[in-house]
Chain A
Amino acid sequence: MNKFRVSGFTLRVLGSGLLLSKHNPKRETRNLNFASRARRAIADERLQGALARAMDHFVHGREIAFAELEDPAALKQHGRAIRAHTLAHLDEYLALLAQSVQRHGGHVHWARDAAEANRIVVELARERGIRLAVKSKSMATEEIYLNHALESAGVRPVETDLGEWIIQLAGETPSHIIGPALHKTRAEVIALFAKATGRPVPPDAPIPDLTRIAREELRQHFLAAGMGISGVNFAVAETGTVVIVTNEGNGRFATGLPPIHVAVMGAEKVVPTWEDLMVLLKLLTRSATGQRISSYVNCITGPRRPNEPDGPDEFHLVILDNGRSDVLGQSRFREALYCIRCGACLNVCPVYRKVGGHAYGSVYPGPIGAVLTPLFQGLDKFPELPHASSLCGACKDACPISIDLPRMLIDLRQIEAEGKPILNFRFWILDFRLLSTSNQRWVERVLFRLYGWALQYPVLYRLGAKVGYWVQRPLVRDGRIPSVPVPPFSGWTQFRDFPQVAAQPFHERWSKLEDGEAA
């Protein structure tokens, strides 16, 4: 049995929890459970409209982009083979990557966790007296809350992707991997931009005007910044090249204008060769936005060469573990690291499409977030996320790498169920609040345990069927049970009916049939 390892995460989780509460008052929703956050999101009509529009837009684009490929299945298979091979040899390819970066005059930093990664970036800024850093969109830096770390060290980070800038101004977190601000309306953006620029923005300003305001405002920051921070979509081991994909062009500026470029990557983002890169790039942009390729793909190898007129004087690559090696060591979850962060699984997920990204309470939302977050940060911290899925399998179908997300969600559920004893008195005494939020799950657990136990004894099972039939009688209406007033059953009947327990159980009918045949 592959035991789920949580002990190693405990400190890290505590640390990030503190960060959250200290720096981000907007995240008070974090204290609610998934169900409450989801309920809140579903009641938000504005959000529902935005989600429906955005999701259809992304899904439609992806379908068209894949339909024109000669053999999409073969391409996806090739992509998966590359990821599987790379992860199985991750140590070798990371070593090669580091060597290649250094060969081109770049610096490589290794960070075991968020705190180490933040310290490295903050230290680089501090040593050079840098007060302003421009950032191009990066999930890895979201994962480690780099902006908070920079701010508390007196460095102002400015997000330059339009969507990221909007949510930075709003003090929020991204609600989608690809469209971080898709939950924001034009009116909200107008208010945020007026506040940020200190100039009035007409209440009917069209979207191109808003984009121009962002362009002008952020252009000043690009030119003034002492440091450019980017994520890494892929890092090519054979040449030490980091690849940054953008549509707006902010990636070109953030990596090309400031005197120092710091790229932060999850350790799993390495690809062996340029040939492999092209396969994955094709899958990434088609899956993410339905584009054959994004407007700009920057392949950056080390700092500016002496004969080049621009580009940074220094290039630093921060390679982040932050739970990845733990996942790598668990065979059944390793493929979660194959993810190339395209967001396709979010767009097709019936749960994400209704609740949006913030309901997950984690940096990575949607099906991949429901797997990665408990793996990276601890299942004890995010026990509900693996349950935030209908297991319909749409995510696996949409995934360009065919990552088996439903299977991993079930495995996580299993671990979570097995890891909890039916009654834990210490738990009970120490933390009533925790118990009360998971009360319903606790009752479920007891019921399933009883059910499983009763199934072992035919006598008990038959008795149960009989008792069940009599107990349900006051609730039956027209052959269905439309409402049960007691949890956890009430949760089910809130939206669905229970089927009635049959007057004559199957085993009785079966034996009667057999008797009939015999006769």
Chain B
Amino acid sequence: MARLHNYPRMAELSTGAFLDRIRTALRRGDRRESALARPGEPVTPADARVHANAVRARAVAAFPVSLECFAEKLTAVGGKVHCVESADQARRLLLDLAAAQQVGHAAICAYPDLANLGLEDALAEAGITVTRVAPSDWTPEIRQALRVDLVQADLAISGADYAVAETGTLVLAAGSFNPRTATALPRIHVALVRPERLLPTYQDLTLLLKADWLSDDSQLSSSCFTFVTGPSRTGDIEQTLTIGAHGPGEMHVIWLVYESR
């Protein structure tokens, strides 16, 4: 530990000093370049909220086309896409998946979209241990206990805040019932998603992210948005594609299509 003294505490560089170097450099460089206009105007949260409903309405109208695109893109990278037409069908599908993968412990992120599906009871009846993540006062003790549960879980069940058809992607915002590692730790991730969550493009996504999560004083109310597209993968050994590196080796999206009727 004596070697720690290699790094004596020193005053850190101030913001001003760092930026001054950049400013000086920019002055030295080509002046014409600094006149470069920005490509596209920045969208403020207020702007976004003005357009949000129109974007949502367009997305709902485009659902059948978007779903086809979503399924094609996600399937291409090894994700599985299902559509169910009733809560009962959703439960049965989930139980089948759990049985096929010998799931002993499932963690459910209590997305409001999942509230009326009766998933917890169905899983418990099938003899599966269920950890339900619901809003709580997350004291260090409770958080530690949850972490232990999540590490043991084989199956993560979540909703999704958004889905993007363009790439077959789910967007999950960290929140009181959605720990950011809950859908990463178990070996299987199943997301049950309502049709109105599906957006055609990333342009729609950025607009809604700003409308829904960014306050007028530019405060984001979630610490982490995770875009998930298919199972975890790696090609680092001899460029051989291997599914299931650190994250889940299986990823399913179940569309609750009856919800739109």
List chain A positions with a Cβ less than 8 A from chain B. 50, 53-54, 57, 78, 81-82, 84-85, 87-91, 94-95, 98, 100, 103-104, 108-112, 116, 118-120, 122-123, 126, 149, 152-154, 160-163, 166, 179-182, 184-186, 189, 207-208, 210-212, 214-215, 218-219, 222-223, 238-239, 241, 247-250, 252-253, 255-257, 267, 272-278, 281-282, 289, 291-311, 319, 321, 325-326, 328-331, 334
CA distance A276 to B206 in the complex (A): 10
- In the bound complex, residues from chain B placing their C-beta under 8 Å from that of A308 are 138, 174-176, 179-180, 222-223
Chain A residue, CB-CB nearest to B248: A249
User: Cβ of B146 and Cβ of A310 under 8 Å apart?
Assistant: yes
Q: Which 7 A-B pairs have the closest CB atoms?
A: A249-B247, A329-B25, A163-B236, A248-B245, A110-B18, A329-B28, A297-B227
Given contacts A82-B39, A110-B13, A160-B246, contact A247 B233 (CB under 8 A): yes
Please tell me if B105 contacts chain A, counting CB pairs below 8 Å.
Answer: no
Closest CB-CB distance, A289 to chain B, in whole Å? 8
Chain A contacts of B112 at CB under 8 A?
none
Most interface-central of B25, B43, B143, B236 (chain A CB within 10 A): B236
A116 to B73, CA, bound (A): 44
With A181-B237, A334-B29, A334-B33 as given contacts, are A310 and B147 in contact (CB-CB < 8 Å)?
Answer: yes
Known: A116-B13, A179-B236, A305-B221. 12 other contacts (CB 8 A): A104-B219, A152-B3, A153-B7, A182-B236, A184-B237, A212-B244, A219-B246, A292-B166, A295-B228, A307-B175, A310-B143, A329-B28
Which B residues lie within 8 Å of A252 (CB)? 180-181, 184, 226, 246-247
CA distance A91 to B26 in the complex (A): 8
In the complex, which residue of chain B has the Cβ closest to the Cβ of A319? B18
Which of A189, A292, A300 meets B224, CB within 8 Å?
Answer: A300
Question: In the complex, which residues of chain A have a beta carbon less than 8 angstroms from the beta carbon of B143?
Answer: 309-310
Given A116-B13, A293-B167, A247–B245 Cβ distance below 8 Å?
yes
**Which A residue's beta carbon lies closest to that of B240?**
A207
For residue A298, which residues in chain B have a CB less than 8 angstroms away from its CB? 180, 224-227
Q: Which residue on A lies nearest to B79, using beta carbons?
A: A295
Within 8 A of A (CB), among B36-78: 36-40, 42-43, 73, 77
Residue interface bits B153-182, CB-to-A below 8 A is 1, else 0: 000000000000011110000111101111
| Structural contact, B19 and A94, CB atoms closer than 8 A | yes
Asked if B209 is an interface residue, CB under 8 A from chain A, the answer is yes
Taking a contact as CB atoms under 8 Å apart, the answer to whether A309 and B222 are in contact is no
Q: In the assembled complex, how far is the CB of residue A238 from the closest CB belonging to chain B, in whole angstroms?
A: 6
Find out whether the CB atom of A57 lies under 8 angstroms from the CB atom of B239.
yes
Q: Which positions 198-220 of chain B face chain A at CB distance < 8 Å?
A: 202-203, 205-206, 209-210, 214, 218-220
In the complex, what's the smallest C-beta–C-beta distance from B115 to chain A, in angstroms?
A: 18
Does B23 lie at the interface of the complex (its beta carbon under 8 Å from any beta carbon of A)? yes
What is the CA–CA distance of A126 and B218 in the complex, to the nearest angstrom? 33
Q: Is B9 an interface residue (CB 8 A)?
A: yes
B116 is an interface residue with CB less than 8 A from chain A: no
Chain A residues contacting B167 (CB-CB under 8 Å) are 292-293
Is A223 in contact with B151, judged by CB distance below 8 angstroms?
Answer: yes
Which residues of the partner chain B approach A256 to less than 8 Å between Cβ atoms? 180-181, 184, 224
A296 to B25 CA separation, bound complex (whole angstroms): 36
A-B pair number, CB within 8 angstroms:
302
Q: How far is the CA of A289 from the CA of B233 in the complex (A)?
A: 12
Taking beta carbons and an 8 Å cutoff, which residues of B are in contact with A? 1, 3-4, 6-7, 9-10, 12-15, 17-19, 21-26, 28-30, 33-40, 42-43, 73, 77, 133, 135-136, 138, 142-143, 146-147, 151, 166-169, 174-177, 179-182, 184-185, 202-203, 205-206, 209-210, 214, 218-240, 242-248
In contact, B219 and A103 (Cβ under 8 angstroms): yes
Residues on the A chain within 8 Å of B229, using CB: 292-296
Which of chain A's residues has its CB closest to B48's CB? A274
Residues of A within 8 A of B30 (CB): 331, 334
Given contacts A88-B33, A249-B232, contact A211 B226 (CB under 8 A): no
Residues of B within 8 A of A276 (CB): 39-40
Which of B29, B181, B245 is A257 in contact with, Cβ under 8 Å?
A: B181
Instruction: For residue B46, give the distance in angstroms from its CB to the closest CB of chain A.
Output: 13
Q: How far is the CA of A223 from the CA of B9 in the complex (A)?
A: 29
Cα distance, A347 to B244, chains bound together (Å): 26
Contact B218–A307 (Cβ < 8 Å): no
Please indicate the chain B residues that have their CB under 8 angstroms from the CB of A160 in the complex. Answer: 246
Contact between chains at B223 and A303 (CB < 8 Å) = yes
Contact B15 A110 (CB under 8 A): yes
Say yes or no: B247 contacts A295, CB within 8 Å.
Answer: yes
Chain A residues with Cβ under 8 A from B9's Cβ? 123
CB atoms of B234 and A211 under 8 A apart? yes
Report the minimal beta-carbon distance from A254 to chain B, rounded to whole angstroms.
Answer: 9
A293 x B6 contact (CB < 8 A): no
CB-nearest residue of chain A to B168: A292
Q: Are A126 and B246 in contact (CB under 8 A)?
A: no
Query: A212–B234 Cα gap in the complex (Å)?
Result: 11
A325 touches B1 (CB 8 A): no
- Among A126, A257, A282, A326, contact of B4 (Cβ-Cβ < 8 Å): A126
Residue of B nearest to A160 (CB): B246
* A217 vs chain B, min Cβ distance (A): 11
